[in-house]
Amino acid sequence: MTFDHEPGRYFLTDEHGKLIAEVTYQEIDDGQNFVIDHTFVDPVLRGQGVAGQLVRAVVDEARTAGKKIEPLCTFARHEFAKRPEYADVLRPHPAE
C-alpha cells in the first residue's frame, strides 16, 4: 500500500478525499528524533495491517534519516513491543 506523505504525517484518503488512515509524528530533541503521537485507521480498513504499515513508514524514514523514535501512541508502543526488528530505531529512555 502506498501512502501520501507530508512532513510529520503519512496518510491515505479514499476516492472522495475522506481520511481513512493516518500516522502522525513530530521531530523532538531539536530535530534529532521522532515521536509517533497518533495512528488512525477507519473501520473499513481495520484488520488489514494498515496501521502497522503506517508505523513501518515512519520507521523506514527514521532509518534513512538516522533518527530514533519515541512511540507515544498506544498502537505505536504495541508495534515496537512486538517487533524486535524495530529496536535499532527505538529511542532509549534516559535513566530516571
Residue 45's contacts (CB-CB under 8 Å, 6 or more residues apart) are: 12, 20, 21
Domain ranges for the chain: 4-89
Q: What are the cell numbers at 21? A: 488512515
Q: Is the pLDDT of residue 96 over 90?
A: no
Q: What is the pLDDT of residue 94?
A: 63
Q: Is the pLDDT of residue 95 over 60?
A: no
pLDDT one-digit tens code per residue, 19-49: 999 999 999 999 999 999 999 999 999 999 9
Q: What is the pLDDT of residue 92?
A: 87
pLDDT one-digit tens code per residue, 66-92: 999 999 999 999 999 999 999 999 998
- Tell the CATH topology of 4-89: Aminopeptidase (3.40.630)
Residue 42's contacts (CB-CB under 8 Å, 6 or more residues apart) are: 18, 19, 20, 21
Q: Is the pLDDT of residue 9 over 70?
A: yes
CB neighbours (10 Å) of residue 51?
A: 22
Place of cell 484488520: 47
Q: What is the pLDDT of residue 93?
A: 74
Q: Sorting pLDDT into bands at 50, 70 and 90, what band is 54?
A: very high
Q: Cα separation of 70 and 28, whole Å? A: 9
